[in-house]
Structure 1
Amino acid sequence: MQRRMEYCPVTAGVEAVGDRWTLLVLRELLLGSQRFNDIHRGLPGISRSLLSARLRRMRAHGLVVRDLDAGGRPAYRLTSAGAALEPLVWQLGDWARRWAFGDPVRDQLDVGWLVWRLRQFVRTEALPQRRVVVELALGREGVEQEERGWLVLSRPADDVSACRVHPGHEVDVWVNADSVEMHRVIAGTTTLEAARRAGHVRISGDPGLAAAFPHWFSWRTPTG
C-alpha cells in the first residue's frame, strides 16, 4: 500500500516548492519577468517543455496565475501565496553565499545572463528622463577579446532592453570590467563600489550619467 505524505507543514512545503526549477521560476517572477520567453531567458539549462510543466504545476499549487497583460499577451503573475515565498527565496540565496557558494567557474561566465540580470535590477524611477545606452565590455583571463553586451535604459520599465548585439544607438556610458568580478557583483558576493576601488570595474562616458550609473540598480547586498 502506498504511504500517504506525512502530516507535516515542512513536508507540504517541500511538495509545493521543493524542486530546483520551481524556486528558480519563483525568482524570475519576483524579479519582474511575466512572459514565458522572459522567464525562460533567465533560466539557463531549462527546456521550454520543462518550464511549461513547472508553470502548470505552480498553477495547480496556487502559486501563479496565467492571464493577459495590457497588450493582450499571456502573462504569469504570482498569487498572494506565491508572493509570500519571497523571503524564502532570498534567504536561501543569503544562506548559499555564506555556506555553499564560491567564485564563478569559466562555464558560468555569461555576458548574456549578466546583462539580463542587470535589466531585472533596474530601478526605473531612478533613471533620467532621456534614453541612456550602456555598453558593457567584460574581459577574462586567457581570453584576448572582450565580450560585450548593451543595456537600453528608459522609462517605462517595458522599454528597458538587454542586448547581445549593438542596439544602433549612440553609447552614453561604458562599463569595462573583469568578468569574474562583475559576476560577483551581480550575485551579491561583492559590491560595485568595492570592485571599482580594486580596479576591477571602470565606468566612463558622460560624467553625470557615469556618476549616476550605480544608483540605477537594486544591487544584491553581500551578507555576513
Structure 2
Amino acid sequence: MEQPTDSPGLEYCPVTAAVQAVGDRWTLLVLRELLMGSHHFNDIHRGLPGANRTLLSGRLRRMQADGLVHRRPGPDGRPGYHLTPAGAALEPVVWQLGDWARQWHFGEPQREQLDAGWLLWRLRQFVRPERLPDRRVVAEFVLHDQQEPPEHAWLLLAPGDISACHVHPGHDTDLWVTADLRAMHRLVAGTTTLAAAGLDLSGDPALTAAFPGWFAWRVPGTGAGRS
C-alpha cells in the first residue's frame, strides 16, 4: 500500500490550498498592513516588528506570484503594493482571525510588547481623515509605564498628511493625551473600550471634545472597527 505523502500540495482540498497561499505568519500580517492603508515598502515594514527587510521583500514577491498583491503606481505616482481582488477578498478572514484570538487566544500585553513607537504607528492607521479639523493638529501622547519613565510620542494630523513621530516634530502641541501604556495597547488591540482605557485629554477644549471621534476604535465583542 502506498504511504501518504508529506507534501500538502498533493492533497486536493480547498483548506490545504488556502493554507499554502496565506497560512503563514508574515503573509497574514502583510495583508493586515495593506488592508490598513500601508502601501509603500517602508510603511509596511514599520508595522511589522520582527520582520527584516529581506524577509519582507521575499514575502511580497511570493504574494505577487500567488496573485494576492500587485505593484503599481499609487495616486502620488510612487510605486506601491496593492491588493488584487483575490487579496482584498481575504479581508473578513484577517479580521475574523483577530476576533477569534481576542476570545480564545489573547492575553495581557507583555513587557517586551510595550512599544510606544509601534503603538502610535498603529493608532495613525485608525485615523478617520474625514473627521479631522481642516488645519494641522499636533497631539502629544504621554504614556506611563510603572517600570519606566513616561514616553512621549506625537501624532501630526493635517489634511492629507497624518504622521506618527517618536521624536519632537518641531511644532507646538495642541492637545495632550496622557494614558497608561498598557491600557493604550489594549485599546488599540480592541480588548478594552475608550472609556475603560482612562485617557486624560487636555488642551484646546474643542479638540479634546472631538478627539475620540477621529479614530475607528475597535469595539470589543462586536466585530466593529479594525484590528
TM-score tier, shorter chain, comes to over 0.9
Task: Give the 5 Å matches for 1:82-161.
Answer: 82-143=87-148, 145-156=149-160, 159-161=161-163
Match of 1:182 among 181, 184, 189: 184
Match of 2:216 among 205, 215, 218: 218
Deviations 1:107-128 (A, max 9, x none): 0000000100111111000001
- Match in the other structure for 2:225: none
Match of 2:72 among 54, 64, 67: 67
How far, CA to CA, are the matches of 1:40 and 1:80 in structure 2? 23
Q: Percent identity at matched positions?
A: 65
Deviations 1:68-96 (A, max 9, x none): 22343220000111000000000000000
Unaligned runs of 5+ in 2: 223-227
Normalization by structure 2: what TM-score? 0.93
Q: Matched residue pairs, number?
A: 217
- Match in the other structure for 2:200: 202
How far, CA to CA, are the matches of 2:167 and 2:18 in structure 1? 42
Match of 1:14 among 16, 19, 24: 19
Q: Which runs of 4+ in 1 moved over 6 A?
A: none
Match of 2:49 among 26, 39, 44: 44
CA RMSD, Structure 1 to Structure 2 (Å): 1.3
Question: Does 1:76 pair with 2:100?
Answer: no
Deviations 1:184-214 (A, max 9, x none): 0000000112222xxxx21111001011111
Question: Does 1:34 pair with 2:39?
Answer: yes
The more displaced of 214-223 and 89-98 is 214-223
Unaligned runs of 5+ in 1: none
Q: Which amino acid aligns with 1:160?
A: I
Deviation at 1:142, TM superposition (A): 2.2
Assess if the C-alpha contact under 8 Å between 1:173 and 1:210 holds in 2. Answer: yes
How far, CA to CA, are the matches of 2:76 and 2:122 in structure 1? 24
Assess if the C-alpha contact under 8 Å between 1:5 and 1:11 holds in 2. Answer: no
Q: Which amino acid aligns with 2:211?
A: F
Match of 2:58 among 42, 53, 76: 53
